[in-house]
Structure 1
Amino acid sequence: MVLFSLNEIKKKETLIGLVLGQIISLLSTSISFETSELARKEINAPTSQSFLGYLLLATVYGSIMLYRRPVIKAKWYHYFLLALVNVEANCLVVKAFQYTSMTSVMLLDCWAIPCVLVLTWFFLKTRYSLMKISGVVVCIFGVVMVVFSDVHAGDRAGGSNPVKGDLIVLAAATLYSVINTSEEFFVKNADRIELMSFVGLFGAIISAIQISIFERDALNAIHWSSEAVLPYIVIAISAFLFYSTLTVLLKTNGTAMFTLSLLTSDMWAVLIRIFAYHETVDWLYYLAFATTAIGLIIYSMKENDQEKQRGGEVVDEQRKLFDEEDCDSLRARLIGAST
């Protein structure tokens, strides 16, 4: 019999990770709920829904960074590329609500789990035990069941084209895995204030350009009232809190913990769909919930101590790379000045 490691659960960082993970899960559900409401009102302007969140990040964290005046630890174009992928991933998720149900969007996010494990193993050199990999495999079965559920339920699953929506969500989840792995690297080797400032700044700029080109007509066609404005405000505040909490969780517990924490948002999504939308949930969803829950339990069993030790060694190696880059840059400046 496999027993839970009680000593691991008692550790401070694990408890912090569990609490922060559930806060993020609730914020993710709130964003998905409001996005689904805008989709129901036929407001098709996906990029505009993220713009205020990026603007809020840039304003708050940018002000903190200007006050502190720190030395920039990473290249600006790295943050630009990260913000670009972030904007497009958010746009894909919002677009998916036009085709499939909120429940499917939330469930299919767990596709990011195997993607995160592969990326952290390859780039961050994190090693996972066989027990954790087995839990991930079980979670993947839950993803497959969601797709079959939408095919089986047809229009009852919500949306005009559930299968197309599912594929869009899978693409977005893949991009999110790249984003979260990159953010874990930056918060552990650079600075979280710097990360949020630049992602917010570049995200707002990219979103504004994309809105002016592709979504101007859609926004002009909207009858702006309190019912239309309120979801945008809720999404902006929730997104700000989401990213703020996310960087803390990534620094303390890593990308895999964050991705797994989002699985509990599926349960919140089902409750919203049943009680707020008064919709019927296909029976395969319940089987998918059970499968993903079992996978999460398997993943949480007895932590491999070598994984954490190896992760610490890799962080030290990555910090050395940053230091070496800074030394090379300083050396080049001194040579240029002397000549």
Structure 2
Amino acid sequence: MMDFKKYWTKKTLIGLGLGQFLSLLITGTGFASSELAKKGINAPTSQSFLNYVFLVIVYGSILLYRRQPLKAKWYYYILLGLVDVEANFLVVKAYQYTSLTSVMLLDCWSIPCVMLLTWIFLKTKYRYKKITGVIVCIAGLVLVVFSDVHAGDRAGGSNPRKGDILVIAGATLYAFSNVSEEFLVKNADREELMAMLGLFGGIISAIQITVLERNELKSIHWSAGAALPFFGFSVAMFLFYSLVPVLLKINGSTMLNLSLLTSDMWSVLIRIFAYHEKVDWMYYLAFGAVVVGIIIYSIGYGDEDQQPQNAVEEPLAISRDEEASSANHSKGAVAGSSKTWVA
């Protein structure tokens, strides 16, 4: 009973519930991207652009109303915006080449990346149970790659191996983005993070669209069948981006990425019941390995050790007074951190 109360606290249950809602949102974005790819629409940066516009309008308005100086250096947000835009670009681009299920499963690669980054930068220490769970999840990723090669044209894309590489590259960038978001949301401010990410992400996206996708957008024949998933993708992404910092502050970035693993289950259900497609038998082995890995990791939830206020040597504040207040404010928050991003 004591162990149950220790590991299944109110904070943990809230994190699990919020994580599953975020997982459903990610599944929705995957479904929308897959639909657009089937309609021949190849504009990955444009799909994410509207999300950044929503972020800067909503959260930028909050910042303007506050009339307060930024708590973090502005150039950190430029780097975060660049990494985030390219991560979205690579993953959405992958839908042109591989299946919805492969994209969802290969996103698991962000987990070991997040653990490594939080260990280096946030001083998180992971015990053997968690490491074992992650290794089992990675074994599932290997099976996904082999299943795409084995399934060939049944994998749902024109070039599954190329798509797999794009997803893995995008997941690596997502890890950097999520760990950075976790750091900023605990040392700066959620509304500031969202507003600045929307601002710089929107600017970088607009430049990339002008260079890479201008002709593609001109050639698209917009209809309800194309506009609905395009707009739905943006709305789901906006909700996802808005809620990710909440989970990061409560449970950390590793918990976020682990929660998103259940999107694999939703994607398989969509593929079977909505697309009426056959799933290669190796996918079931891969998914089974991922589930076992999550269970092993969950058993060890709370085992990781973190250095509370020494996890960050110097907060990104603009003054010494703000540094002191930020360190006191985040004393307990950093200690409860366990993982990536998400964001």
Give the TM-score taking structure 1 as reference length: 0.92
Residues 1:242 and 1:313: Cα distance change in structure 2 (over 3 Å): same
Q: Which amino acid in 1 is paired with 2:19?
A: G
- In the other structure, the counterpart of 1:334 is none
Unpaired runs of 5+ residues, structure 2, are 324-343
- In the other structure, the counterpart of 2:248 is 250
- In the other structure, the counterpart of 1:128 is 126
Within the candidate set 311, 318, 326, 2:319 is matched to 326
- In the other structure, the counterpart of 2:223 is 225
| Structure-2 separation of matches of 1:16 and 1:328 | 33
Offset at 1:71? 2.4
| Structure-2 separation of matches of 1:200 and 1:51 | 9
Within the candidate set 101, 104, 122, 2:102 is matched to 104
| Structure-2 separation of matches of 1:294 and 1:235 | 30
Give the TM-score taking structure 2 as reference length: 0.91
Q: Which amino acid in 2 is paired with 1:249?
A: L
1:147-226 to structure 2, matched below 5 A, reads 147-226=145-224
What SS does the corresponding residue of 1:47 show, helix, strand or coil? helix
Within the candidate set 20, 43, 53, 2:18 is matched to 20
Q: Does 1:286 align with 2:284?
A: yes
Offset at 1:213? 1.6
Q: Deviations over 1:252-295 (max 9, x none)?
A: 10000001001000000001111111111000000111100000
| Structure-2 separation of matches of 1:103 and 1:4 | 39
1:21-170 to structure 2, matched below 5 A, reads 21-170=19-168
CA contact under 8 A between 1:9 and 1:15: conserved in structure 2?
no
Q: Which moved more, 1:268-277 or 1:6-15?
A: 6-15
What SS does the corresponding residue of 2:262 show, helix, strand or coil? helix
Q: How many matched pairs? A: 323
Q: Which amino acid in 1 is paired with 2:319?
A: D
Q: Does 1:313 align with 2:306?
A: no
| Structure-1 separation of matches of 2:82 and 2:166 | 17
| Structure-2 separation of matches of 1:9 and 1:268 | 26
Q: Which amino acid in 1 is paired with 2:217?
A: L
- In the other structure, the counterpart of 1:11 is 9
Offset at 1:304? 4.2
CA contact under 8 A between 2:181 and 2:245: conserved in structure 1?
yes
| Structure-2 separation of matches of 1:142 and 1:8 | 30
Q: Deviations over 1:217-259 (max 9, x none)?
A: 1111111111111112111110110011101000110000001
Query: Structure 1: which 4+ aligned runs deviate by more than 2 Å?
Result: 302-306, 310-315, 320-323, 327-330
% identity of equivalent residues? 62
CA contact under 8 A between 2:85 and 2:201: conserved in structure 1?
yes
| Structure-2 separation of matches of 1:306 and 1:112 | 18
Indicate the structure with greater helix content.
1
What SS does the corresponding residue of 1:74 show, helix, strand or coil? coil
CA RMSD, 1 decimal: 1.8
Within the candidate set 260, 264, 267, 2:265 is matched to 267
| Structure-2 separation of matches of 1:4 and 1:43 | 54
Unpaired runs of 5+ residues, structure 1, are 331-339
| Structure-2 separation of matches of 1:144 and 1:306 | 26
CA contact under 8 A between 1:116 and 1:178: conserved in structure 2?
yes
